């Protein structure tokens, strides 16, 4: 079997396919995640086959010396793979090895005890409160048609007002209109969460729905392109790019930055970190904790500017 250039033995091929099915069915991993993890593991197994002089079965994982694992990681770094990306690949390898060990009874301590490469987690890059408000208003100025302007404003308002991912906002159907007090959102990995809807978001979507020339029936996408098909997320990114240039905002002012802004501004207003984690749909609190670092950084910036110096 070849997966992006990786040659696998029949046993490894079968194991990899079963593991991918396990990720999808039992762990609820998203299709893109399963695809990426499968490619990561296939690449690792391909390296082992070349490094050890031939394709092997699952038993190779149990007897794998640290030297082989370090050699793989060194090769990946030598190819220009970042520490963050390598950490993801090692995570995939560990997940596959753990799954294989559970089924074969092998001792996979060597692989499972491998240390992740150190990398500095990137902090979210939110807009200011004024910047977020200006963005919502300015995206509407880019559209040649009134209903498209209302659509773009509604989408960006949902990103900021409810902390949705762009895929989640554009995944809404006509059944969501008029917006309820609480939206049930299915996010990454098929995980469902409840998100309160602020009045301004409800009003923005209602304005769009009144202006939209297409039938927003329950089974159809809520947000439409100019020809009536599902709205392409790239169009929202482009209209925000035009708006940020007009406003003089940084390149980080993307659709996802509106979600970052939602979380950061909630935290600055005294929001509970656990509650924000639930609203965002983060699986781990450590992901949400990144916003505390943003808040602390901004606090120090204000301090440096405002504190009197001798």
Domain 2-112 falls under CATH 1.20.1440.230 = no
Nearest to 124 by CA among 163, 169, 87, 167: 163
**Span 18-33, mean pLDDT?**
76
Catalytic residue at 165?
yes
Catalytic residue at 98?
no
For residue 194, list its beta bridge partners: 184
Q: How far is the C-alpha of 135 from the C-alpha of 100, rounded, in Å?
A: 49
Q: Provide the pLDDT confidence category of residue 13 given band limits of 50, 70 and 90.
A: confident
- Indicate where the chain has its CATH 1.10.150.130 domain(s): 2-112
- Indicate where the chain has its CATH 1.10.443.10 domain(s): 129-305
Tokens of 250: 């940084």
Per-residue confidence (pLDDT) for residue 6, from 0 to 100: 57
Q: How far is the C-alpha of 93 from the C-alpha of 269, rounded, in Å?
A: 41
Q: Residue 271 has what DSSP assignment?
A: -
Contact 158, 201 (CB under 8 A): yes
CATH class of 129-305: mainly alpha
Catalytic residue at 259?
yes
At 214-229, the pLDDT tens digits run 999 998 999 999 999 9
In degrees and rounded to multiples of 5, residue 125 shows phi and psi of -120, 85
Which is catalytic among the residues 94, 98, 188, 242? 188
At 259-295, the pLDDT tens digits run 888 887 777 666 655 666 666 655 554 455 555 544 4
Which is catalytic among the residues 77, 94, 193, 256? 256
């Amino acid at each position: 079997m070849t997966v992006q250039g990786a040659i696998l033995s029949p046993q490894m091929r079968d194991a990899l396919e079963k593991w991918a099915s396990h990720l999808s069915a039992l762990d609820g991993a998203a299709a893109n995640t399963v695809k990426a993890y499968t490619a990561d593991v296939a690449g690792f197994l391909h390296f082992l086959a070349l490094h050890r002089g031939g394709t092997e079965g699952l038993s190779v994982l149990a007897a794998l010396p640290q030297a082989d694992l370090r050699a793989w990681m060194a090769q990946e770094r030598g190819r220009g793979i970042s520490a963050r990306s390598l950490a993801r690949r090692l995570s995939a390898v560990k997940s596959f090895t753990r799954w294989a060990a559970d089924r074969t009874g092998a001792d996979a301590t060597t692989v499972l005890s491998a240390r992740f490469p150190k990398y500095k987690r990137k902090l979210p890059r939110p807009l200011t409160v004024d910047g977020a408000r200006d963005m919502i208003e300015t995206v509407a100025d880019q559209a040649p048609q009134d209903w498209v302007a209302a659509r773009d404003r509604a989408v960006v308002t949902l990103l900021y007002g409810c902390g949705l991912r762009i895929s989640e906002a554009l995944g809404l159907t006509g059944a969501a209109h008029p917006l309820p007090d609480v939206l049930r959102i299915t996010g990454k990995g098929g995980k469902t969460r409840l998100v309160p809807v602020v009045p301004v978001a409800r009003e923005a979507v209602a304005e769009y729905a009144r202006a939209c020339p297409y039938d927003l029936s329950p089974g159809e996408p809520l947000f439409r392109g100019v020809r009536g098909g599902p709205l392409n997320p790239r169009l929202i990114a482009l209209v925000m790019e035009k708006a940020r240039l007009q406003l003089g905002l940084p390149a980080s002012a993307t659709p996802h930055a509106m979600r970052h802004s939602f979380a950061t501004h909630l935290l600055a207003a005294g929001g509970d970190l656990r509650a924000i984690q639930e609203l965002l749909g983060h699986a781990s609190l450590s992901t949400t904790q990144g916003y505390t670092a943003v808040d602390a950084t901004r606090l120090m910036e204000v301090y440096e500017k405002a504190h009197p110096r001798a």
